[in-house]
Chains A and B, each alone.
Chain A
Amino acid sequence: MPFHGVDFLGIDSLFNEEELAVRDTVRRWVDDAVMPIIGDRYIAGEFPQELIGQMAELGLFGANLPEKYGCAGLNNVAYGLIMQELERGDSGIRSFASVQGALVMYPIYMFGNEEQKKEWLPKLASGEVVGCFGLTEPDYGSNPAGMITTARETDAGWTLNGTKMWITNGSTAQMAIIWAKTGDLDDPGSIRGFIVPTDAKGFTSKDQKGKISLRASDTSELALEDVCIPRDAVLSESAGIKSPLMCLTQARYGIAWGAVGAAMACYDEALNYAKTRMIFDKPIGSFQLQQLRLADMLTEITKAQLLCVQLGRLKDAGTMRPEQVSLAKRNNVNIATDIAREARRLLGANGILAEYQSMRHMTNLESVYTYEGTHDVHTLILGKAVTGISAFE
């Protein structure tokens, strides 16, 4: 059955015709291309590579970047709705698009020179090249400023050394945006971004085995051992830890929307199940226990939707602040994890099967809860924003 979304409060009236058309197109594509295969691919533990070309053709990569670089030139609300619909399918599919758009294309667009933009953005938009984003390290997750990957200037260009971990698309990518310190290890101001081809000598990627979450996604570890790249591979305008953090703000913005999609998928599944699953000669939806579950889910989804719309309008107006993104990411992913778990429970024994979606979303969302700033870190960002006192610096 096609997915019709959740709109209890007439929130569709807050979107314009193009935004709705974008959403409905992606929604339909997810129904046609993602839903029939995702359960099996999740079990198999593989990202559906065959979707990359289709996503590119639709224009999903870097969709909020300008048309002159081969992108769709959408506003941020339409971009958010794309993320919502993709994650309604699976967090792994949305993660792929988030990385390609917000973490690879965005830094090239923001910090690259015109030549780099012209060379890379059209290829990334068309899916000809897949990229990944190397910031996190084995010992530097919530504290990326402490990274120990280095870039040293040589006569020939730059030499990079270090290890990056939890890298989405890491083994699929042909190019990586690698963040490294060009100065002392205690100087986060010396962090700069580099465009590194993944077939460069000394660059290796290793699939991170044994995941119980985001199974339909490529998560890899990258090792850079004396990787030499030309002088012009540096993103010339990148300057300090602030640059990769700006990328994360973009990605987190998409995640705030995406989480709503995952929550909607679970609620929709739970609602349909509650209306049709008979027990004691009546549908389980006639019991107050399940009605409470559904009412709670609906309420939290509706609040999260409103957060997204307002955040999107702020972003389009150019006034969005990073801590506002933290609030939305923190809340929306948190409620989505709760909704997925409650939906799984409502589904009873059937809920543990991959034939249903809720448990897949439930396990995926544990990663989403943890990546792009853990729930806890966003709590501290908000704490700092309101008290003026940083708990972690």
Chain B
Amino acid sequence: MKIAVCLKRVPDTETRIKIGADGRSIDEDGVKFILNPYDEYAVEQALQLKDSAGTGEVTAISLGSSASQETIRTALAMGVDRGILLETDALPLDPVPIGKALAAELGSGDYDLIFFGKVAIDDYSHAVGTIVSELLGIPSVSAVGRLEIADGKGTAEREIEGGVEVVEFSLPAVLTAEKGLNEPRYPALRGIMMAKKKPLEIKPVELEEGGLSVVELSVPPARPAGRIVGEGADAVPALVEALRTEAKVI
């Protein structure tokens, strides 16, 4: 089985984001970048499928700047066989040109399964995996929480409001990974050393401009201090009143 996993380099969730001088991008100075956490589930699932089949190849593909090589190396250290960087200076906000560039690469790869994380934790667009499946004309299942592949078809479970939806699909297909799909492995130290010997192909790409542009970034307003409405049972009516009229949550 040939499996592709699409990866994105994103700022560490612990990083305190500063807005850049242009007011429309983040200041990357001193920011630690990581493999998008949802993509880790995708990598792990691809590796588990290969391990259980005992054969196959897993390819990691990332679209981004040269620094994304490091992100691909992380996946190679986890056990992915080879990497492809679609190199571009800047990523547009619009997911459509990104989907198009990835689909152009993925379409020629003859993959049985294409994994994405369900969302990248920087722009939260939730869109690229689905766009790629549309462009390739193959089925997609998003936010997969459980997966089984057998006899050329797959069964995926996705959590929906108040229940679980079970979806059957044929291969090839695009799947986006939900948190909890598996427990991603740590890259073993040997894997880290082997990663630099694995093939990583760099292909420059030109992206279309897309229809979205960032007008302005701003940090959320500071949270107002809390207020203690009273103590003990006597305070309950005042609390209910505040929740109803001030917070408007009940």
Q: Are B192 and A21 in contact (CB under 8 A)?
A: yes
Q: Are B14 and A2 in contact (CB under 8 A)?
A: yes
Inter-chain contacts of A259 with B (CB < 8 A): none
Inter-chain contacts of A162 with B (CB < 8 A): none
Is A74 an interface residue, CB under 8 A from the partner? yes
Is B82 an interface residue, CB under 8 A from the partner? no
Is B187 an interface residue, CB under 8 A from the partner? yes
Inter-chain contacts of A129 with B (CB < 8 A): none
Q: Would you give the 0/1 interface string for B51-76, flagging 1 where the beta carbon is closer than 8 Å to chain A?
A: 00000000000000000001001100
* Contact with A72, one of B70, B74, B193 (Cβ below 8 angstroms): B193
Is A17 an interface residue, CB under 8 A from the partner? yes
Is B119 an interface residue, CB under 8 A from the partner? no
Q: Would you give the 0/1 interface string for B183-227, flagging 1 where the beta carbon is closer than 8 Å to chain A?
A: 000111110110110000000000000000000000000000000
Is B177 an interface residue, CB under 8 A from the partner? no
Q: Are A22 and B186 in contact (CB under 8 A)?
A: no
Task: Give the shortest distance, in Å, between A14 (CB) and chain B (any CB).
Answer: 18
Is B80 an interface residue, CB under 8 A from the partner? no
Q: Are A25 and B70 in contact (CB under 8 A)?
A: no
Task: Give the shortest distance, in Å, between B83 (CB) and chain A (any CB).
Answer: 14
Is B6 an interface residue, CB under 8 A from the partner? no
A1 to B74, CA, bound (A): 22
Q: Are A21 and B190 in contact (CB under 8 A)?
A: no
Given contact pairs A1-B14, A29-B186, A57-B188, A17 touches B193 in the complex (Cβ within 8 A): no
Q: Are B190 and A28 in contact (CB under 8 A)?
A: no
Is B77 an interface residue, CB under 8 A from the partner? yes
B residues 67-98 in Cβ contact with A at 8 Å? 70, 73-74, 77
Is A235 an interface residue, CB under 8 A from the partner? no
Given contact pairs A2-B14, A17-B73, A25 touches B193 in the complex (Cβ within 8 A): no
Q: Are B192 and A22 in contact (CB under 8 A)?
A: yes
Inter-chain contacts of B74 with A (CB < 8 A): 21
- Count of A-B residue pairs with CB < 8 Å: 47
Q: Are A58 and B14 in contact (CB under 8 A)?
A: no
Q: Are B189 and A72 in contact (CB under 8 A)?
A: yes
Q: Are A73 and B193 in contact (CB under 8 A)?
A: yes
Q: Are B189 and A25 in contact (CB under 8 A)?
A: yes
Q: Are B189 and A58 in contact (CB under 8 A)?
A: yes
Is A312 an interface residue, CB under 8 A from the partner? no
Given contact pairs A1-B14, A72-B193, A73-B193, A17 touches B188 in the complex (Cβ within 8 A): no
Q: Are A18 and B14 in contact (CB under 8 A)?
A: no
Is A316 an interface residue, CB under 8 A from the partner? no
Q: Are B190 and A25 in contact (CB under 8 A)?
A: no
A58 to B77, CA, bound (A): 11
Q: Are B189 and A60 in contact (CB under 8 A)?
A: yes
Inter-chain contacts of B190 with A (CB < 8 A): 59, 67, 72-73
Task: Give the shortest distance, in Å, between B125 (CB) and chain A (any CB).
Answer: 26
Given contact pairs A72-B193, A73-B193, A74-B193, A21 touches B77 in the complex (Cβ within 8 A): yes
Q: Are A25 and B192 in contact (CB under 8 A)?
A: yes
Given contact pairs A2-B14, A17-B73, A21-B74, A58 touches B193 in the complex (Cβ within 8 A): no
Task: Give the shortest distance, in Å, between A20 (CB) and chain B (any CB).
Answer: 9
Q: Are A63 and B189 in contact (CB under 8 A)?
A: yes
A28 to B196, CA, bound (A): 21
A261 to B188, CA, bound (A): 21
A67's nearest neighbour on chain B, judged by CB, is B190
Inter-chain contacts of B77 with A (CB < 8 A): 21, 25
Inter-chain contacts of B32 with A (CB < 8 A): 4
A residues 13-58 in Cβ contact with B at 8 Å? 17-18, 21-22, 25, 28-29, 57-58
A16's nearest neighbour on chain B, judged by CB, is B196
* Contact with A59, one of B189, B195, B196 (Cβ below 8 angstroms): B189
Task: Give the shortest distance, in Å, between B48 (CB) and chain A (any CB).
Answer: 15
* Contact with B189, one of A1, A22, A28 (Cβ below 8 angstroms): A22
Task: Give the shortest distance, in Å, between A66 (CB) and chain B (any CB).
Answer: 11
Inter-chain contacts of A1 with B (CB < 8 A): 14
Q: Are A21 and B14 in contact (CB under 8 A)?
A: no
* Contact with A58, one of B70, B188, B195 (Cβ below 8 angstroms): B188
A1 to B196, CA, bound (A): 30
6 more CB-based (< 8 A) A-B contacts, given A2-B14, A4-B14, A60-B189? A1-B14, A25-B192, A58-B189, A59-B188, A59-B189, A73-B190
26 A-B pairs with C-beta separation under 8 A: A1-B14, A2-B14, A4-B14, A4-B32, A17-B70, A17-B196, A18-B195, A18-B196, A21-B74, A21-B77, A22-B192, A25-B186, A25-B189, A25-B192, A57-B186, A57-B188, A58-B188, A58-B189, A59-B188, A59-B189, A59-B190, A72-B188, A73-B190, A73-B193, A74-B193, A82-B189
Top 5 A-B pairs ranked by shortest CB distance? A59-B189, A72-B189, A72-B190, A21-B192, A59-B188
